[in-house]
Amino acid sequence: MKLPLIYTCFSLVVTTLGTKLPSSFMKCDVKQSDFQQCLTKTVENAIKQMNRPFKEVNLLNLEPLEIPSMTIAAGSHVMYTQQVFKNMKVSGFNETTCSKVEFDTDSKILKLDCVVPNFRLEFDYEINGQILQISVYGKGSGWGVYFDNHLKLTLKLGEYEKKGKKYYNVVKQQLSMLMRDVDFDLGNLFDGDKEAADRIKKIFKENALEIYGDVRSGYEEAFGLVFASIFDRLLGKVPAAYLFGEK
């Protein structure tokens, strides 16, 4: 009967103190003069380490990041089809570079400006509608790569207290996502009619950015929520004092 008692005491200590960031993560103190530069390096470095989960702080594995389902609404100019994705796996975060990560403690706004050179998606998909006035349908598995995917994420944080400690949470997110180019394949397009599929895929690739532009806000909304939830999970575990050396 000793073990449960020890375990209880231990978990009590942990919940009272909150969880610190993993020891392999760099740390920045909001009072240091180069806080913003420190944060930029720290966040980039942490993202690169996330090829495994950090369960103690609720961080998932990013290599790959698994998204069970994502539905992107039809556009209004060239992409007249809803896109349904299932079992999506996103990878390539290990090569992320961040040019700017800023946190303003007064407005509690966290801004990230990062590029993922090969943002790779693997998924099961379903589409049925019109793209560039061509009828398309297909259901199968596919992949896509967004080259130099430029992500600008803005998170508005709120704060609350738990057991005498200040914690942040994400109250609002906004994502801008724009890539230099796109490559993709959609298996089983037109029920496997390869000739028709190849013809269409060539047209779509030539117009990929125009097509993306029509549904961009849907992608930004969906991925914005995914990225915000990754931060929110971490923020729920690690008190503000352990994140930025705040008192």
Ligand X SMILES: *[C@@H]1O[C@H](CO)[C@@H](O)[C@H](O)[C@H]1NC(C)=O
- Total residues binding ligand X (CB under 6 A): 2
Nearest approach, Cβ of residue 63 and ligand X (Å): 7
Nearest approach, Cβ of residue 24 and ligand X (Å): 16
Looking at residues 3 to 42 of the shown chain, list those that interact with ligand X (rule: CB under 6 A): none
Q: Which is nearer to ligand X, 53 or 192 (CB)?
A: 53
Per CB under 6 A, does 52 bind ligand X?
no
* Angle separating helix axes 194-206 and 208-235, nearest 10 degrees: 80
Looking at residues 210 to 239 of the shown chain, list those that interact with ligand X (rule: CB under 6 A): none
Q: Which is nearer to ligand X, 32 or 94 (CB)?
A: 94
SS3 assignment for the chain: CHHHHHHHHHHHHHHHHCCCCCCCCCCCCCCCCCHHHHHHHHHHHHHHHCCCCEHHHCECCCCCEEEEEEEECCCCCCEECCEEEEEEEEECHHHCEEEEEEEECCCCEEEEEEEEEEEEEEEEEEEEEEECCEEEEEEEEEEEEEEEEEEEEEEEEEEEEECCEEEEEEEEEEEEEECCEEEEEECCEHHHCHHHHHHHHHHHHHCHHHHHHHHHHHHHHHHHHHHHHHHHHHHCCCCHHHHHCCC
Q: Which is nearer to ligand X, 126 or 185 (CB)?
A: 185
Nearest approach, Cβ of residue 120 and ligand X (Å): 8
Q: Which residue is nearest to ligand X (CB)?
A: 94
Q: Which is nearer to ligand X, 44 or 113 (CB)?
A: 44
Contact 235, 167 (CB under 8 A): yes
Per CB under 6 A, does 49 bind ligand X?
no
Per CB under 6 A, does 95 bind ligand X?
yes
Per CB under 6 A, does 45 bind ligand X?
no
Per CB under 6 A, does 94 bind ligand X?
yes
Nearest approach, Cβ of residue 200 and ligand X (Å): 29
Q: Which is nearer to ligand X, 97 or 176 (CB)?
A: 97
Nearest approach, Cβ of residue 127 and ligand X (Å): 27
Binding residues for ligand X (CB under 6 A): 94-95
